[in-house]
Amino acid sequence: MDNNSYWNQKQQEQNGNFSQQAGPVQNPYQPRQNGESGFAIAGMVCGILSILCCSWMIFDFLLAIPGIIFSIVVLVKNYAGKGMAVAGLICSTVGLFLSLVFLAILVMV
């Protein structure tokens, strides 16, 4: 017996209804649907690192810009991990902003 039919039967038993046809039931042991959330993770990791390395301007641009791109890809394409993408977008933007501030200080002083 495969997992889905097992869970369907379990659901019917719990409902006390063996005659009715039960609809598809979510199997709690189904693997996670996280195919595209790698983009969200990459965006957030880049964002966190860009905040940490905000005083290293060129290096920071190399982290913040991909972070923004990855996060936007997740949001536009509707991939999994929207919360992380939003957080990654905010972190990358803050990192980029700090880095630009540092660059401005360096140019002006």
Partner 1 sequence: MKRKKVTLEQGLYLAGLIAFCLGMPFLFWYIPQVDAGVLPPCMLNRYFGIYCPGCGGSRAVMALIQGKFLDSLYYHPLVLYGAVLYLAFMLSQTVALLSRGRLKGLRFHQWFLFGAVFLIVLNCLIKNILKFCFGIDVL
Q: What minimum distance in Å lies between the beta carbon of 52 and partner 1?
A: 4
Cα 85 from Cα 81, distance rounded (Å):
6
- Side-chain half-sphere CA neighbours of 11 within 13 A: 15
Query: Residue 12: enclosing H or E segment and its boundaries?
Result: helix 3-15
The nearer residue to partner 1, 7 or 67, going by C-beta atoms, is 67
Q: What minimum distance in Å lies between the beta carbon of 3 and partner 1?
A: 17
Residues 25-64, interacting with partner 1 (CB under 8 A) = 31-32, 34-35, 37-38, 41, 44-45, 48, 51-55
